[in-house]
Structure 1
C-alpha cells in the first residue's frame, strides 16, 4: 500500500513559500520593556534606536541618505522608506534586511577581528552594506515578482526574488557597494579571499554547484566572496549598469526559467558558465606563482581524495616542543588540544563562543564564552572562562558582562579584556585572574576601539586600535593614564593578533593582496617584515627559538612552525607597512562619483523624537498559503517593526469533512511572558451519529500566556517553554439535535517543553547527547467532564561511530474515563499505522540514524544532494479503547522499518530534507480494515533548515 503524507503536486509551491518567509520566532519579543525607543527620520529611512544612541542613529541616517542618491544609478531609482532598528543589547556582530515585514536590524557590537569585516566603525560598515539590500528589494519589485507581491504581499516578493536572484548576488553586490563608497570594504581585504585562494592553491576545481551548495566533507567558502568576484568582474567588464539590467530582467522573470542565467548571457554575450569561469579567473590570476610553500600543503594537494581535516587556531607555546591550540573538525565539537612533537592530546571541549580566540599562560587558558539572557533573546553576554589544562576544570570568572579577547598578565595574576557597553563605547578592563573582580578601567582618552590587547609589561598594554575613522595602528597604552603611544602611522590596513616577546611585538597586517607577519622593536622603533611568501599568515606564537603561525588551507586552518631567527627579517624603510590596500584589479571601484561617499557625510546631529511602540501594530504584510491535505489554509500575517506584536487572520478548508474555519490570533511579546489571544469559528463540521451524518458549527475563544526561557550555559544548549491558555468552546448543532448535543464548555491547555543537548558538529545528524520532553495537560473546568494528559520524551545517544545516533523515545497519553469531549491528538503513534486517539496509549520507540554517502552531486543547477542517510526504527504502541459502555479492549501496534533521508539544496540556495519510509506492521491495522502489513510513505518535508 502506498500512502503520501503530503501531495506532491503542491510540494514545490509550498517549498518556495516556506523558503521565502524568514521566521525569527526566537527573537520575537526579544527586548526588555525598560528600553525607551527613539527615532531619527530621513526621507529614505526611519532609524529606531534605544535612548542614548542619538549620535550613532544620526550617523546611520546621514550615511544611508547620502549613499542612496550616489549609488542608485547602478541598481535603480525606486524608493520605499525602510525602518532600521539599532539593537545594542546583544554581543553578536551582524545585521540583516528582510521582507515580511520590510525592515532592517543592526546588531551593534563590533567584531574584534579587523581582517574579517574591516576596521570601519561598525555602525558605518552596517549602513553602507545593509542599505544596498534595501535598494535591491525596492528595485526587484518588478514583473512576476511584483505580481507575487500583489497577490501574496511581501512574502510573495521575497519568494519571487529568492527564486530569480541568488544569494551570491545579493551579498556580492552589497560587498561591492561597501568597498566602492569607502576607503576600505571587504573587496580590498585579502582575508576575504582566503577560502578561494586556498582552493586554487590546492588545485581543487570544484563544480559551480558544489561551490554554491557546500559540502559535509570538503571546505567550501560561503557565497559572499563568490558573489563579490562575480559582481566585480561584471562591473569591470560590462559597465556600471550591467547588474542593474541583469537583475531587472531576472526579477521580472524575462525568459521565465533560469532568469538570472539568461539575463547574464543576454547582456554579457557569454554563457553563464563562461561568465563565472572568467570571473574566477580574473582574481585567480593575481595569485599565479604565489602559492603556498608549505610541505604539508604539497603533500595534501597530491591526494585528490583528501577532504577537510581540521582547523587549528590560536597556537600558544607551552615549551619549544609543545603547543596548545583550538581544534575544530566537521565530526567533533571545538576542543582545546595539546600537541607535543606532533602527537595530539584532547583536553576539553570549548563552551559555546562567538569566536575561537583564547590566550594561554602557565597551564591556563582564558577565553570569552557566550551566555544568553534567560528571557530576552536580543540580550546576551560574553563572559570570561578560565580553563586549567592540568585538571580540565573550567571556572566562569564574570557574569552578565560583555568582555572580548581576554589575556593574562605576565605574572598570571591579572587579566586584560575589551569591554563593550550598550552605548557602543569600549574600554580596557583590568580584572583579578582569580575571581574576576574589576581592578581598574583604563581611560580611553581618544575614543579608540581596542582589539586583542596583551600585556607589554606591568604598566602598559599593547593593542591593535581603531580610531573614529576606522584607521588602525599598533599602540602601547598606559594602564593608569590611558595615554597611547602609537608604534605605527594610522592607515586603513587592518592589524590584528599582537603578541609580545621581550621588547618585540609580533603581529599580522595587510600589505597589498596579502596578510603578512611583522615585528616591531619597541626599543629601537624598527619595523620588520618576517615572511615574504605563502598564503596569508595569522595568529603568531613565539618562544626564544620557535615561531608558529596559522595559515588557511583547503583542509582547514593549519599551524606552521619555523625557527625564530630575527637575522633573516627585512627592515622596512620609514617604519611603515608597505603595500596599502589592493583593488584586486577592479578599476570600477574608482570610476564614478559614488567613490568614498563616507568622506562627504557630515557628523551632525539630527532631530530626535520618541518612537511610538504602537506604531503600525497590526502591520499585515503577507498572505501565506499552506496546503497540507486535507487542510487548505490561507493566513494573513502581520508583525510590527519592533517585533513585539504578531497577528494573523486564518481561513482553513478541511477537505475530509468539508468544514470552513475562520480564525484571528494575536501575540504580544514585550512583557516577561507572552500574552496570547484569539478566536476561531468553524462552519459545517460533520460526523456520523446513529448512522446519520449530522452537522454543527463550533466557536473557540482563547487567551493565555507563554514563557520562553533560554537556559543555555557553557557547553549545554537548554530551553524551557511554559504555556497556559484558557479556551471557551461552544457547539451549535442542527435544530433537531440542538437540545441533546449542543455543548458549551471551558478548558485549560497547559504545556511544558524542555530541551537540553550538547552542541552539534557539522556532520552530526543529531546531538550526541541530550534529551527533550513535552508535557501537555488539557482539562475542562466547566460545562463538561474531560481531561487528557500527554507526555513525550526523547533521549539522544551516540551510536557505534562518530556521526551515528541512537534515539530512544517514549510517550504516554491518557484520557479520563467518561470524557464527554475529545481533545486534539498529538500522540506520536507507531509509524505505518493510522494515528488514532485512543483512551490510553503508551509508546516506546528506538531509532538508529547513520550517514550512508556524501555524493556532492547535482542536476541542472536545480537539485543538489549533499548527504544520503538512513534510519532503522522500531515502534511499540499499546493502546486501550472502549468497545462498549462497560468493556475495554487492549491492542498492540508494533512496527519496524527503514527510512531513507535526502539532505538536499534546491536551485543552489534552499536547504530541504525529505525522506521515504518503509514500515512493516507486526500487528493488524485494525482501524483501517487490515489492508496490508507493508506501508510506504513519502515523508516531506522533514526540515527547511
Structure 2
C-alpha cells in the first residue's frame, strides 16, 4: 500500500520529457546572437545563418504585438537556439530551462508541413508556445512555479490545459499568420476525414490518448479543429478567457472543462462534439468510395503500403509496415496478391525510395559517433537479387535519391547546414560525386526524378514559400517551370515516358495530376474520393498508387484510361489551393512575411553566459532511491547541475550531494560531492558510520546508430576521495578512515527498430559493467556486471528476455561499497558484504494480454495490459566455510500501460513471486506493486 500511495502522489509531479541533446557540439564552435529586450536568437558562427536568425527575431517581435490580444500581453524574454547540423525537422519550447530550440533541416515532404520557409514556419508556430507559457503563470500555476520552479509550472500548466489546445492553438497561429500553414493543407485533415468516411466513431478518450491497435489522429489535428471552432463561434478572445481560468485552477477539478462551459454556455462534452461536427459536416459531401469501404471492413489498423513501383507488368516493389512490423521492402504479385519480403529497411526518417533495374536506392539515418547535435542522411543501395544492402555515401546529408534508367547514376538532394539545398549527381556504385548542379536562386528541391539523361523533374520551393514543379538541367542548373508558381503544394513526381504524374494539394483532397507535353490533366481516381492519393506509377496501361485510409496507406490498382483525364487550366490549378475549411477568422488574418533585411546588431554569444542555471526542484523515484533535487542546465545544454537529498530504503541511509556534468568538451567532465549519513553493517561486527565522497571523472559517450540497429556505448571513470567517520558505539572501536578509490564503468546497448505494438525490440542487448577499487592504504573492491538479451517470442509482439548479473567483491572488511546486485524476485535484499561471489540468471517471457482502449473520467486511460512469466536463479558463494545459498523463484507480472490525464505515459504492475527455496520467517508467496523504474525522469 505504501508504494501504491507513493505512485498516486508522484503522478502529480511527473516531469515533462524534452527532446534536448546534451553537449553535442565541437568545443571549437563559436556562437553569435541577436539580442534585444524580448528575445535572444543564438546560432553557430560561420554558417550563413544571419538571415534566418534575423527573420526569426523579426517574426517573433511582430507576433508579440499582433497576436497577444488572443492569449495575453505578458512577455518574458526567451532564448531561441538554432541547430543547423541535424537531419531531423523539429522544434520545441521548454520550461526547465526556459528556451526554445529549432532544428533547421526543412522537411522533404511538402504535404506534411507545407513549403513556407522552414525557420519562418517554426517561428510562427513555436512562438505561440512562448506566448502560452508567458501568460499561464497565474493562480495555482504560479504557486507550482514557486514550489517546484520552471518544471513545476510546466506540470501545472499541462495538468490544467490539455495538450490538444497547446498544439492546436499553435497550428492556428501558423495558419493565421502565414499564407499556408497546416490549417490550409488538405493533407492535414486526411486523418479525421478517413475516420469519418470509414464510420470509425471512437470515444473522446480514445481520440485523446491514441491506440496501439487502431489508427487515431494526433492531438495537433484534434486541437486545431477544436481551437478553430472556438475562435469561429465565440470570438478571438474566447481561448484567452478559457485558459486564464484554467491555469488559475478556477473550479479546481477539471478547470479547463469548467472554463469552456462558462464562456460558451454549453457543456464541455457538447462543445467538443460540436467542433468535430463542424468540420465533419463539410466532409460529408465527399461520400463513400471503394477505399473507405475497404478501411471500414478492417477491424483494426491493417498497415501502410507506400511508394509502390513496377518491377514488371505483374509485380511491384513497395515498403510495408504496421503496428506489428517495422518497415521492410516487399515484392507483391498483383495477380495472386502474395507478398515476398526482401529486406528490412535501414533506420530512416521516411519510407521514400526509388527502384530501377533490380536496385533500390533510399536515404537512411546515421548518427554522428561523438556529437549529439549532428547526424547524417546517407544513400543506400539494395540489390533485389542478392539482398545486399550497403551505404554508398558516408557523413553526408542526402535525401530522396533516384536512380537513372541505365542504373549508373543517382540524383539526390544535398542539404547544407541551415537549409541551403542543391542537386548532386552520384556514381551509383561508389557514391562519388559526379556533378554538383548549380542553384544560383537558392531553391529548395524535393523528390527529384530523372526525366532524361540530362534533365531532372523536381518539386521546388522559393525563398518566399511558393512552389512549383520544374525541369532542372543537371549541366547548368537552368530551370523550366512546368506549373504556375503558387502556394499550392505539389510533390511526389513520377516519370513514365513523356508523362509526368504528381500529387497536388486540392481543396479537401490531395489529387493526382499529370503533365503530357506540358498540358495539365486531372487523373481520375474513383477508388478514393475523400482523402489524399499519392505516388502514382503506371506500366502497360495499368496504374498503382497509394490512398490514405483509416486503416493505413492502401495500395490501389486501376487501369489507365486517359480518355477520362480532364484538362486543367493554369488558372484553375492555382485556384484549387483554397483553404480546406471556410473559416472567417483564418481568412481575415494578415500574414507575416519573411523579413531577412531588418538591421539587427549581431554580437558574440559567450558559452559561459548563465552557465550555472538552476531552474527547478524535482522529486525522483527509482526504487530503492527516493530523491529531491535542485536541478539546473544552461541554454546550450552544456552544463547540468544538481543539488540533491536522497533516501535509500534498502540500507536506510540519507545522502546530500551536488553533481555537475560539463559536456562542452569531449570527453565530458563530471564533478560530484556527497555526504551519506547512517550507513550500517548489521552482520558481526556491527558498525555504523557516515561517509563523505568527492569525485572527479570523465565520460565518453558514443553513438553508432546506423543500418538496422541502434547502438550506444558509454565509457566513464573517475577518482574518488572518500572519508569514513564512524558513529555511535563504533566510534570507540574503529578509527576513522580516508582513502582514494577509482571507479570505471562501461555501458553498451544495441537494439533493432521497434513497431508500435512491440513491448521490447525483437533483438537487443544491453550491458553494464562497473568496477570500484581502493587505491591506497586500505583494501576493497567491487565488480558488478549485468546484461540483458532481447529475443523474439512465438508471436511478433512477444519477447523472450534473458537477464544475468555477476558481482565479485572482497570480504576483508576495510570498506564495503554500496550494493546494487539484483536478487531473485520475491526474496528480501541480502547483506552482501560477506559474500564474495554472486550470480543471477533470469528468464522472462513478455506478451500482450489485451488492448482495452478504455479510460475513466479523463484521468486514466488503459492502452494495453501485458503479462510476463519469469524464473530467477541466484547463487551466492561463501569462501570461508565453502558454502553457498541458492535463491530460486518463479512467478508472473501483470503490467498496465496507461496514460494519466490524457498525456503522461506510465506503466505499472503487480507481481506475484513464489520462493522455491523458502527462507525461514518469510511467506513463500510474495506480492508486490511494481512502480516504474524511473517514474519522474532525470
TM-score band, normalised by the shorter chain?
over 0.9
Where does residue 238 of structure 2 map in the other structure? 242
Residue of 924, 927, 931 corresponding to 1:940 = 931
Where does residue 497 of structure 2 map in the other structure? 502
**1:321 and 2:314 aligned:** yes
How far residue 791 of structure 1 moved from its aligned partner, in angstroms, is: 1.5
Partners of 1:758 and 1:12 in 2: how far apart?
Answer: 34
Residue of 454, 469, 488 corresponding to 2:464 = 469
**1:55 and 2:51 aligned:** yes
Where does residue 435 of structure 1 map in the other structure? 430
Partners of 1:438 and 1:921 in 2: how far apart?
Answer: 65
SS of residue in 2 equivalent to 1:332: coil
**Following superposition of structure 1 onto structure 2, how do residues 788-807 of structure 1 map, counting pairs within 5 Å?**
788-807=782-801
**1:28 and 2:22 aligned:** yes
How far residue 598 of structure 1 moved from its aligned partner, in angstroms, is: 2.3
Report if aligned partners of 1:527, 1:576 keep a CA contact under 8 Å in 2: no
Where does residue 877 of structure 1 map in the other structure? 874
**1:425 and 2:420 aligned:** yes
Where does residue 691 of structure 2 map in the other structure? 698
Partners of 1:704 and 1:175 in 2: how far apart?
Answer: 45
CA gap of 1:622–1:349, structure 2 versus 1, over 3 A, is: same
With 765-774 and 346-355 compared, the bigger mean Cα shift is at 765-774
Q: Which runs of 5+ in 2 are unaligned?
A: none
SS of residue in 1 equivalent to 2:932: strand
Where does residue 579 of structure 1 map in the other structure? 576
CA gap of 1:317–1:176, structure 2 versus 1, over 3 A, is: same
How far residue 783 of structure 1 moved from its aligned partner, in angstroms, is: 2.8
Report if aligned partners of 1:516, 1:537 keep a CA contact under 8 Å in 2: yes
CA gap of 1:659–1:938, structure 2 versus 1, over 3 A, is: closer
Where does residue 745 of structure 1 map in the other structure? 739
Report if aligned partners of 2:359, 2:382 keep a CA contact under 8 Å in 1: yes
How far residue 746 of structure 1 moved from its aligned partner, in angstroms, is: 1.1
Where does residue 722 of structure 2 map in the other structure? 729
Partners of 2:60 and 2:828 in 1: how far apart?
Answer: 57
Where does residue 840 of structure 1 map in the other structure? 837
With 643-652 and 122-131 compared, the bigger mean Cα shift is at 643-652
Where does residue 824 of structure 1 map in the other structure? 818
Residue of 483, 499, 507 corresponding to 2:478 = 483
Report if aligned partners of 2:295, 2:550 keep a CA contact under 8 Å in 1: no
How far residue 576 of structure 1 moved from its aligned partner, in angstroms, is: 4.7
Residue of 92, 96, 99 corresponding to 2:88 = 92
Residue of 861, 864, 874 corresponding to 1:864 = 861
Partners of 2:95 and 2:910 in 1: how far apart?
Answer: 34
Where does residue 604 of structure 1 map in the other structure? 598
How far residue 285 of structure 1 moved from its aligned partner, in angstroms, is: 1.0
With 279-288 and 539-548 compared, the bigger mean Cα shift is at 539-548
**1:448 and 2:439 aligned:** no
Deviations 1:80-114 (Å, cap 9, x if unpaired)?
A: 01110000110000000011001100000100111
CA gap of 1:328–1:657, structure 2 versus 1, over 3 A, is: closer
Partners of 1:655 and 1:846 in 2: how far apart?
Answer: 27
Partners of 2:95 and 2:611 in 1: how far apart?
Answer: 17
Report if aligned partners of 1:419, 1:429 keep a CA contact under 8 Å in 2: yes
Deviations 1:429-474 (Å, cap 9, x if unpaired)?
A: 0001111110011111221111011111111111110011101111
SS of residue in 1 equivalent to 2:152: helix
**Following superposition of structure 1 onto structure 2, how do residues 293-332 of structure 1 map, counting pairs within 5 Å?**
293-294=289-290, 296-302=291-297, 306-332=299-325
Where does residue 676 of structure 1 map in the other structure? 670
Deviations 1:354-378 (Å, cap 9, x if unpaired)?
A: 0110011111110000000111111
CA gap of 1:825–1:691, structure 2 versus 1, over 3 A, is: closer
Where does residue 257 of structure 2 map in the other structure? 261
Report if aligned partners of 1:445, 1:483 keep a CA contact under 8 Å in 2: no
Partners of 1:588 and 1:12 in 2: how far apart?
Answer: 42
Partners of 2:554 and 2:915 in 1: how far apart?
Answer: 52
**Following superposition of structure 1 onto structure 2, how do residues 386-785 of structure 1 map, counting pairs within 5 Å?**
386-521=381-516, 523-531=517-525, 533-574=529-570, 576-577=572-573, 578-591=575-588, 595-598=590-593, 601=595, 603-626=597-620, 632-653=626-647, 660-685=654-679, 696-734=689-727, 737=731, 740-785=734-779
Report if aligned partners of 1:464, 1:473 keep a CA contact under 8 Å in 2: yes
Partners of 1:526 and 1:136 in 2: how far apart?
Answer: 45
CA gap of 1:331–1:831, structure 2 versus 1, over 3 A, is: same
Q: How many residues align?
A: 925
Partners of 2:811 and 2:34 in 1: how far apart?
Answer: 62
Q: Which runs of 5+ in 1 are unaligned?
A: none
Deviations 1:694-725 (Å, cap 9, x if unpaired)?
A: 65432111110111111122001111111111
Where does residue 376 of structure 1 map in the other structure? 371
CA gap of 1:632–1:914, structure 2 versus 1, over 3 A, is: closer
How far residue 504 of structure 1 moved from its aligned partner, in angstroms, is: 1.7
Deviations 1:204-243 (Å, cap 9, x if unpaired)?
A: 0000001111111111111100000000000000000000
Superposed CA RMSD:
1.9
Residue of 8, 14, 26 corresponding to 1:12 = 8
Partners of 1:629 and 1:445 in 2: how far apart?
Answer: 60
Report if aligned partners of 2:22, 2:638 keep a CA contact under 8 Å in 1: yes
Partners of 2:450 and 2:497 in 1: how far apart?
Answer: 11
SS of residue in 2 equivalent to 1:407: strand
Residue of 898, 914, 935 corresponding to 2:908 = 914
Report if aligned partners of 1:333, 1:349 keep a CA contact under 8 Å in 2: yes
With 627-636 and 549-558 compared, the bigger mean Cα shift is at 627-636
SS of residue in 2 equivalent to 1:637: strand
Partners of 1:348 and 1:409 in 2: how far apart?
Answer: 22
Report if aligned partners of 1:551, 1:559 keep a CA contact under 8 Å in 2: yes
SS of residue in 1 equivalent to 2:931: strand
Partners of 1:715 and 1:292 in 2: how far apart?
Answer: 40
How far residue 394 of structure 1 moved from its aligned partner, in angstroms, is: 0.6
How far residue 557 of structure 1 moved from its aligned partner, in angstroms, is: 0.2
How far residue 632 of structure 1 moved from its aligned partner, in angstroms, is: 4.8
TM-score (norm 1): 0.95
CA gap of 1:876–1:107, structure 2 versus 1, over 3 A, is: same
Partners of 2:399 and 2:314 in 1: how far apart?
Answer: 29
SS of residue in 2 equivalent to 1:297: helix
**1:356 and 2:358 aligned:** no
CA gap of 1:413–1:605, structure 2 versus 1, over 3 A, is: farther
Report if aligned partners of 1:864, 1:904 keep a CA contact under 8 Å in 2: yes
Partners of 2:187 and 2:581 in 1: how far apart?
Answer: 13
Partners of 1:428 and 1:697 in 2: how far apart?
Answer: 66
SS of residue in 2 equivalent to 1:879: strand
Partners of 1:68 and 1:292 in 2: how far apart?
Answer: 44
Partners of 1:877 and 1:893 in 2: how far apart?
Answer: 5
SS of residue in 1 equivalent to 2:166: helix
Partners of 2:840 and 2:231 in 1: how far apart?
Answer: 61
Partners of 1:738 and 1:860 in 2: how far apart?
Answer: 61
How far residue 36 of structure 1 moved from its aligned partner, in angstroms, is: 1.3
Report if aligned partners of 1:526, 1:575 keep a CA contact under 8 Å in 2: no
Report if aligned partners of 1:630, 1:656 keep a CA contact under 8 Å in 2: yes
Partners of 2:99 and 2:380 in 1: how far apart?
Answer: 36
SS of residue in 2 equivalent to 1:330: coil
CA gap of 1:656–1:569, structure 2 versus 1, over 3 A, is: closer
**Following superposition of structure 1 onto structure 2, how do residues 79-118 of structure 1 map, counting pairs within 5 Å?**
79-118=75-114
Partners of 1:408 and 1:628 in 2: how far apart?
Answer: 51
Where does residue 809 of structure 2 map in the other structure? 815
